[in-house]
Structure 1
């Protein structure tokens, strides 16, 4: 698989996550936030193990360790995002969570001494500016304790994306995804059972929302992300995955008929430009190197 194909898969994952907001909202009509996390990860883990059994894949010790680390980081990111969302507004939570697109290149640089390309750094800030336009155009910006939790969430999402790049080097992507889903499911159980109560009745719409959230927005999306990160770098993946806010706004406009401002349209354009920059980075790099030599 080429890097361009892997990047397109990351865009597909972002689109799935963008549409997944609708399913999550449906599940939240009956379940509390941490119960939703437990349902999505336990359900996705069950689907993952079925795939493992059908494909007769072997779970190695290396995959078990690497996948577990990625799964715990993933759950911590979702947990801090949930805590943060409870204490701040949705726009700022989405914006601050997306700060991971800026953090990833520098964390990778610190851990692996791999200096990011200038165009990747530039594209990440362009993307972040676009997300700010989409998320903050109506609510403004003020910093609270909930915002701090959202920033911690962004840090863990960045670490999870980097850990997946490391985990998929010598391990099967399906096995890694199965282990990370299982680890997230195990960690999610105490939070849901201790902090929340289950509803006494569940209607059909909630069940369908949970099925989409489990099978499509969680298992399939993370399976595709894990596969793609075997062939693309963490910096590019983090930027492309952050376009979920763009897709969420597109789906909100066409399916829920939400009103969009010119500022939000401008934000979508900035995100689109950042994607083009990342997609063309491999073509631009040789040109820049040639110019330096001359």
Structure 2
């Protein structure tokens, strides 16, 4: 059974992630998404490594690079490609299939039972995101759609595998390992895909510090902590809070409009998140297996 404090702490991660759009557009140079992702992940991971002072054992390196590659390298690169090729509302709506992917991956990899009500809650959240973000300018681009689906699949796979592969170390150490691995994999991607970063201003450095310390180190620790303590479907449903935060911050700080249809979407998302947590709080049973006439 999930404790309320675990839900609240885990929910802080996507809520903070929703603020990264504002920070990125207002404080960082435009056109360097992969380099910014690198500067967001690697310094945070190295800082946490200095704090925990524990390197991963050799037999864990493969798993860590898979997790770091899924959760940070592939996810962030595909996310930015989708954002560039599609209107933000379309990209975010496609990316919101991630909770559905987690439900089915958790069944496949962890043996969790697929709950029809959990699927319904995920579909409701997806519909709420569509109401919140889709507009008449929505257009479809095959490459953008493929990238957005890839980012959702990467995060879903990383979420489930982070639950499946739990090393015998503290969650802060696990976070340091994953961030560092993902950051290292971003180095060649940044060198190949983007030109050198221009000289940074004080605002740029402030924005990068926020993205690294708060938007990466803190949030990734909270997210992985939640994965280790909560049902994967409940954790992934909290990701719906990210577009809600981004929209509300845009309305409050950037004077962006908020229509009645968007407000309806916010309410649907919040109801979906609440329902997902309610389902996860009930005692769960694994899939039943019959062996020689005995149900286990």
Residues 62 and 98 (structure 1), Cα distance of their counterparts in 2 relative to 1, 3 Å cut = farther
Aligned to 1:17: 17
Corresponding residue of 1:243: 241
Deviation at 1:65, TM superposition (A): 4.1
1:1-294 mapped onto 2 (5 Å cutoff): 2-29=2-29, 32-53=32-53, 57=54, 59-61=56-58, 63-74=60-71, 75-140=73-138, 142-168=140-166, 170-282=168-280
- In structure 2, the residue matched to 1:290 is none
TM-superposition CA deviations, 1:57-96 (whole Å, max 9, x none): 5634565443322101121111111222222221111111
Provide the rounded CA distance (Å) in 1 between the counterparts of 2:99 and 2:280.
19
Instruction: Give the match for residue 291 of structure 2.
Output: none
Change (3 A) 1:169 1:232: farther
Encode CA deviations 1:198-243: one digit per residue, 9 max, x unaligned. Answer: 2442221111111100100011100111111111011110111231
More deviation in 3-12 or 265-274?
3-12
Moved more, 43-52 or 28-37: 28-37
Equivalent-residue separation in structure 2 for 1:241 and 1:203 (angstroms):
32
Query: Structure 1: how far apart are the matches of 2:219 and 2:127?
Result: 25
State the Cα deviation string for residues 134-163 of structure 1 (Å, max 9, x = none).
Answer: 121343353532112211111111101111
Aligned to 2:252, what secondary structure does the other structure show?
helix
Can you list the C-alpha shifts for 1:252-273, whole angstroms capped at 9, x where unaligned?
A: 1111121011111111000110
**For 1:62 and 1:262, how far apart are their aligned partners in 2?**
53
2:75·2:155 contact (CA, 8 Å) conserved in 1? yes
Match of 1:197, SS state, is coil
The alignment covers a number of residue pairs equal to 283
Contact 2:122 2:272 in 1 (8 A): yes
Preserved CA contact (<8 Å) 1:30 1:199: no
CA positional deviation for 1:36: 0.8
- Indicate if the aligned counterparts of 1:76 and 1:153 stay in contact, CA closer than 8 A: yes
Normalised by the length of structure 1, the TM-score is: 0.88
- Structure 2, unaligned stretches of length 5 or more? 285-296
Distance 1:141 1:123, change over 3 A: farther
Cα distance change on mapping 1:171 and 1:66 into 2, 3 Å: farther
Q: Which runs of 4+ in 1 moved over 6 A?
A: none
1:227/1:284 CA distance change after superposition, 3 Å:
closer
Residues 27 and 62 from structure 1, CA distance in 2 versus in 1: closer, same or farther, beyond 3 angstroms?
farther
Structure 1: which 5+ residue stretches go unaligned? Answer: 287-294
Q: What is the DSSP-based 3-state SS (H/G/I as helix, E as strand, rest coil) of the residue aligned with 1:115?
A: coil
CA–CA distance in structure 1, aligned partners of residues 44 and 264 of structure 2: 36
Q: Is the 8 A contact 2:167 2:174 kept in 1?
A: no
